[in-house]
Structure 1
Amino acid sequence: MDQIEVPAYILASYSTMLHTLGSFRGYEEIPHDKKWLVVHGTQEWYDLYSPERIQELADFFDCYTKAPNEWESTPRVRATVLPYNQPALTNIPFEEPFWPHRQTKTKRLFLNSEGRLTEIQPKEPGQSSYQADFAPIWQRGSDSGEIQFSFTFPHRTTILGSSRAIIYVETKTGPDMDVYVHLRKADRTGKLLEHVNIPLKDLGVASAEEVPLTNPMKYFGPHGILRASYRDVAEEISKPHWKTLSHRRRLPVNVGEAMRLEIEIWPTGMLFEAGEQLVMKISGHFMGPAEFEALQGTFPVRNEGEHTVSWGGASASYLEIPTVKIGDDL
């Protein structure tokens, strides 16, 4: 990416698992300032072929292949934030051409024995276990073999960017661990919410319940995935907000030992009103919807037995989330 010299127009999606991280990292790593990032609030194909996007692309290409126009006055970064139970808030301009936002503040939330996330580190140690070799049957966001922790926001809060989970996990059977972390939004009653990726009117349906529960159609929230033996980090290409795995060597996984794992969680934009909840789920399998309904229940799982997550004391497990205030648009 650091060898790209031509202007760049980059679209980024929270929900397209194959392309999410590459789009954001690509924008960060292109070394010049003639680059634009647009984060859309829909499935990527819907946005890419929309009349608005086609016109913008034409303006972009015209500027650099025909004659200068007004394109370069376009904000370098336009973000999207998802309220989930309301339409997405789109085209939120950054005052500076950087991703993530320069005024991002990291909020640390600790796991505790009550199934909560708290800003106060618990003194007493605790544990919770899940069946790590459980294979999801329906991939509808409520399969077995998952544990969860929740935090209730006391005031309106926006999460924008990449999160990170630092958790102590133990396997009693080995020889390796695949650990998944998933962030969800819940309403004031604790009901998990979903973001519909394509407007209902364009799908020809009247309600979200009629929309198929597949990844192109619905977005639950961002994931983090780590195979414990591949936790070695390439510091030379990492960012403060995102550690890049080196894949140069495999590190040992010690059976019966609580191992400290740093799990990077994909970028997202989520708006929480006072009283709404952030839910952190941990398991041994992918917790989002399948790409297509025919693939439900086919997700492979390579874990064995139970995994145990520890918190409190010397093994303080916690979640770091990026919060930001970005103007009156919210």
Structure 2
Amino acid sequence: MSSEAYRTVTETNARIDEVRDGMRILWDVTITMDDGLPLAADVFLPEQPGQYPVLISYGPYAKGLPFQEGYPTAWEALSSSHPDVAEGSSCAYQNWEVVDPEKWVPHGYAVARVDSRGCGRSPGYIEHFSARETADYVACIEWAADQPWSTGKVGTSGVSYFGMNQWQVASERPRGLAAVCIWEGASDFYRDASHHGGILSTFWEHWYDKQIKVVQYGLGDRGPVNPITGLNVCGDETLSDDQLAANRSDFGAIIRSHPLLDDWYRERSGVLENIEVPLLSAGNWGGSGLHLRGNVEGFLRAGSAQKWLEMHGLEHWTTYYTDYGRQIQLAFFDHFLKGVDNGWDQRPPVSLLVRSPGEVYEERAASAWPLPETAWQRLELDPVRLDLVEKGGAEAGSVEFSGEQDVTFRLPVSDADREVSGPVSAKLFVSTDSDDADIFLTVRLFDSEGKEVTFAGAVDPNAPISMGWLRLSHRELDEAASTEWRPIHPHSRTLPVEAGTVYEVDVEVWPTCIVVPAGHTLAVTIGGRDYENPELKDAVTMSNFKNAMKGCGPFLHDDPIDRPAQRYATRVRVHCGGEHRSSILLPFQER
């Protein structure tokens, strides 16, 4: 059917309405919010008139900016290493962190992409993850459910930002929302994203400069052009720098001004217990710093009666687009948006890609998280041999670290493969020469020659196994919410720290999964700074991040206001053995 004939069936307010590449595309559809603001959306439909379930996304990265143009280094890595991503697609409609319509429309789905307020072709004031943004997303979902080309069933899908805001919007229970697929998205904006263990991450300030200001509405003729439509990616208005600045919040400065977990963060985290719709939460083993903890916590805490957790590896822009990830998403949405009896409801609640060195993965299903068969083992830190030893085996004494010096404890080498999969936590007894201290804990792997083995992280190509952080003044525990394997800190106030006093602290280390081959050894490094791979000679740089990738990716804790050297570069002692049994709890699995 021609574009003109289809238009008589379904009237739209699209800027451009055309049929191409096997799809009917409505470019720049207007969705009006309750305050009168017009948001811009692109909608991709099957050529055949009808009603289809809708996959929708709402976010700031500009719907008209091709993946290849906006994120060239990520696209090159993705397309060259995973040819299945491009197979069957022209890739002309690929966008950063959302579905490729050419892979979904042929399966009978409508795909809607909405530029969030103030970004791309949507005017307005930028205020990320705010209640205003969440209300906009609710309105967009309900709009999609009401369209004549919609069955009334809407699913949300996307990676990172497009995953994070799903926790928020799902907890509002919008009409028409029937399923959510949250792929690598933080669910707790304070603990997962802005402050790790109470320590400020500078990621968001740099992200704002590199990924948001460059696609702000009002760049107009100064911004990129959609190569398909010829429309300005960032709106038809061309505003001055002063006008642009007036239309956005200073995200980094606002985060810095909220050092404790308050209502500002709660507004940006959603109420997980309010979520009712079927949920697929997919996390990344290499996502320490943003793309891991939230997916596990979201799965555990969501109120949904039907919920699933999937855990994988590789870069955070990879698995979502590969056949592996897309087929999982397709089965999930086919079942809940189309009613297909494909056995999804019989799928085990937890599925893992168990990780081995060399980016080797083995699929495993489980009935719960943590895995029910976990053999928990608490190993003490021996300050003399610098080993991880069984209970009661550590010598009494202490070791020191500082902003420049770390200390590493190793598990004895085994002649058989061992697996560590699950949450990790540490109980430390520490004292400091200052009035506060920051603890950085890194779980690492070394081969038989003592060389560190790293992995493809969600962002950094040379990441360690896992990380944990804690500011000593944030040591207070939420006793009701905490478990031995997952300490939770309220971060609602700071506790005093006196120089020389020994404090017992519990450090949450983000979940992990690693097969430790025979002859290799697991190690725990404790220090006062971000991990850097000591053997890395040429750090990778990427088009969308400011810093070079040295092990932590862009998730650094180097803000001079939050971490003044005179406070956080001083000596800290870890007390071990005797009455101060510093230890780490590891989740071993049978092999």
Bucket of the pairwise TM-score, normalised by the shorter protein: 0.7 to 0.9
Partner SS state of residue 237, structure 1: coil
Q: 1-side partners of 2:484 and 2:380: how far apart?
A: 20
Unaligned runs of at least 5 residues, structure 1? 135-144, 199-214
The one-letter code sitting in structure 2 at the alignment partner of 1:309 is V
Is the alpha carbon distance of 1:229 and 1:292 closer, same or farther for their aligned partners in structure 2, counting shifts above 3 Å?
A: farther
Select the residue among 366, 371, 378 that pairs with 1:101.
371
Report if aligned partners of 1:153, 1:272 keep a CA contact under 8 Å in 2.
Answer: no
Q: In 1, Cα distance between the equivalents of 2:381 and 2:525?
A: 11
Partner AA of 1:310 in structure 2: H
Residue 78 of structure 1 pairs with residue 322 of structure 2: no
Match of 2:465 in 1: 221
In structure 1, give the amino acid aligned to 2:381: L
Does the 8 Å contact 2:481/2:488 carry over to 1? yes
Structure with bigger RCO (C-alpha 8 Å, 6+ apart): 1
The residue type equivalent to 2:327 in the other structure is: Q
Of the candidates 139, 160, 164, which is equivalent to residue 425 of structure 2?
164
User: SS in structure 2 opposite 1:295?
Assistant: coil
**Aligned match of 2:446 in 176, 182, 186?**
186
Aligned residue among 567, 571, 575 for 1:306 = 571
Which residue identity does 1:118 align to in structure 2?
Answer: V
In the alignment, is the contact (CA less than 8 A) between 2:285 and 2:457 conserved in 1?
A: no
Aligned-pair distance for 1:299?
4.9
- Residue 44 of structure 1: SS of its match in structure 2? coil
Of 361, 366, 375, the residue aligned with 1:89 is 361
- Give, in whole Å, the separation in 2 of the partners of 1:147 and 1:93: 36
- What's the TM-score once normalised by structure 2's chain length? 0.47
Q: Is the 8 A contact 1:152 1:275 kept in 2?
A: no
Q: CA deviation at 1:38?
A: 1.1
SS in 2 for 1:91: strand
**Deviation (angstroms), 1:53:** 1.6
Question: Residue 246 of structure 1 aligns to which amino acid in structure 2?
Answer: P
Matches within 5 A, 1:147-162: 147-154=407-414, 155-162=416-423
Matched, 1:125 2:385: no
Taking the aligned partners of 2:573 and 2:338, their CA distance within structure 1 comes to 60
Query: In the alignment, what sits opposite 1:295?
Result: 547
Measured in 2, the distance between the counterparts of 1:3 and 1:291 equals 41
Query: SS state of the match for residue 268, structure 1?
Result: strand
> What is the 5 A alignment of 1:1-330?
1-16=272-287, 17-70=289-342, 71-84=344-357, 86-94=358-366, 96=367, 98-112=368-382, 113-122=384-393, 124-130=395-401, 132-134=402-404, 145-154=405-414, 155-172=416-433, 174-197=434-457, 215-288=459-532, 292=541, 294-296=546-548, 299-300=557-558, 301-302=563-564, 303-325=568-590
Q: Is the alpha carbon distance of 1:197 and 1:231 closer, same or farther for their aligned partners in structure 2, counting shifts above 3 Å?
A: closer
State the Cα distance separating 1:100 from its structure 2 match: 0.9
Distance (whole Å) between structure 2 residues aligned to residue 238 and residue 123 of structure 1: 26
Deviation at 1:44, TM superposition (A): 1.9
Task: For residue 222 of structure 1, report the CA deviation from its aligned partner.
Answer: 0.6
What is the deviation of 1:33? 4.1
Q: Percent identity?
A: 25
Aligned residue identity for 1:119: E
Structure 1 residue 56 displacement after superposition: 2.2
Distance apart, 1:273 and its partner CA? 2.5
Tell which structure's C-alpha radius of gyration is larger: 2
* Residues 374 and 587 in structure 2, CA contact (< 8 A), matched pair in contact too: yes
Please list every run of 5 or more consecutive structure 2 residues that lacks an aligned counterpart in the other structure.
Answer: 1-271, 534-538, 551-555
Spell out, residue by residue over 1:25-52, the C-alpha distance to the aligned partner (whole angstroms, 9 max, x if none).
Answer: 1111123441111111212210111123
Per-residue displacement from partner, 1:51-107 (whole Å, max 9, x unpaired)?
Answer: 2322321221121121232122333211122221x342232111x2x1110111211
CA contact (8 A) 1:41 1:90 kept: no
Q: CA deviation at 1:280?
A: 0.7
TM-score, normalised by the number of residues in structure 1: 0.82
Equivalents in 1 of 2:273, 2:296: separation in Å?
14
Tell me how far apart the structure 1 counterparts of residues 528 and 541 of structure 2 sit (CA, whole Å). Answer: 21
Alpha-carbon separation, structure 1, partners of 2:505 and 2:541: 31
| Equivalent AA in structure 2 for residue 181 of structure 1 | L
Q: In the superposition, relative to structure 1, how do residues 110 and 65 fare at CA in structure 2: closer, same or farther (>3 Å)?
A: same
Q: State the Cα distance separating 1:183 from its structure 2 match.
A: 0.5
Look up the SS of the partner of 1:100 in the other structure: coil
Distance 1:42 1:244, change over 3 A: same
Q: CA deviation at 1:110?
A: 1.2
- Could you tell me whether the CA contact under 8 Å between 2:432 and 2:501 is conserved in 1? yes
Contact 2:485-2:585 at 8 Å conserved across structures: no
Conserved 8 A contact 2:473-2:497? yes
Q: CA RMSD in A?
A: 2.2
Higher helix share: 2
**Partner Cα distance (1:38, 1:193) in 2:** 24
